[in-house]
Amino acid sequence: MKNILITGGKGQLASCIKDRENHIKNYNFLYVDYDELDITSEKEVVTFFEINDIAYCINCAAYTAVDKAESEIDLATRVNELGVSNLVKSCKSSNAVFIQISTDFVFEGSQSIPYTEEDNTNPIGIYGLTKLKGEKAALSLEKHFILRTSWLYSEHGNNFMKTMIRLGKEKDQLNVVCDQIGTPTYAGDLADFILKLIIGKSSKAFGLYHYSNEGVASWYDFAKAIFQESNTSIKVLPINTEAYPTPAKRPSFSVMDKIKIKEVFKIEIPYWRDSLRKCLGK
């Protein structure tokens, strides 16, 4: 029985993995959150790996408060860079496979065609910068997968979909940004892929990959779809980013190219709106 460590164990991606783990035989899943394993403590990480004989580490732990990161630089750096570095060191000592979850925010969003894994990164905020530094830490390990994803949502945790559904019950009208373009990604689909990655025939095709659902949308498009699919009656108005200032800048275009991951792992990726329906139980 091989042990799989999942950090960020109470988050939405870890929760989606937990929903699906019963289908995976011969593996033992260990979910930990920061109160059980502080990944910024090298001593704690080393001890945990030694006691539990880890074969795989899926790092779902991250500092993801994009706006707060602009003022909490040290904390974001400790979690997104130092934490990854500590996990990588223990994976190397244990000969474990490391799976790092990263983000579209490593790109500045200035181009108009989907970003490939070979495109230059240039984050425009602290969150994206610290996640990129985490990627670089993961690259030092031979047995690594880095999975960049975007606009994650699910039935679990706090996310845009759940916020829209809550606001749809409280308000008659809502303004949503329409000039930031990306791809909503159902965390359940990403969880399915991660499990396939571990047990599949291409489980040694280590490297950097992009995974998001298929298609393109603005936050306005996403909100409209959420309300339509959940039969919520609310007026949604499109606004520009300038009308909704935030401490952190967001990429205006962060659609990711997924040709590499589809060819290497022979997978089909669901269209974002189909996955939204699935998440909503439609």
| Contact call for residues 138 and 100 (beta carbons, < 8 A) | yes
pLDDT over 80 at 203, yes or no: no
Q: CA 54, CA 57: separation in Å to the nearest integer?
A: 7
User: pLDDT (tens digit, 9 = 90+) per residue, 5-43?
Assistant: 999 999 999 999 999 998 888 899 999 999 999 999 999
CATH top class, domain 2-159+183-213+255-269? alpha beta
User: pLDDT (tens digit, 9 = 90+) per residue, 110-168?
Assistant: 999 999 999 999 999 999 999 999 999 999 999 999 999 999 999 999 999 999 999 99
Domain map of the chain by residue range? 2-159+183-213+255-269
Percent of the chain at pLDDT exceeding 70:
100
User: pLDDT (tens digit, 9 = 90+) per residue, 63-98?
Assistant: 999 999 999 999 999 999 999 999 999 999 999 999
Which helix (H) or strand (E) element contains residue 167?
A: helix 160-170
pLDDT over 80 at 1, yes or no: yes
State residue 71's pLDDT score.
97
- The H helix count followed by the E strand count for the chain is 10, 12
pLDDT over 80 at 202, yes or no: no
Q: What are phi and psi of 194, to 5 degrees?
A: -60, -40
pLDDT over 90 at 280, yes or no: yes
State residue 25's pLDDT score.
86
Q: CA 174, CA 234: separation in Å to the nearest integer?
A: 7
State residue 67's pLDDT score.
96
pLDDT over 80 at 201, yes or no: no
pTM (predicted TM-score): 0.96
User: pLDDT (tens digit, 9 = 90+) per residue, 207-248?
Assistant: 999 999 999 999 999 999 999 999 999 999 999 999 988 999
What confidence category does residue 271 fall into, taking pLDDT thresholds of 50, 70 and 90? Answer: very high
- Residues with catalytic function: 127
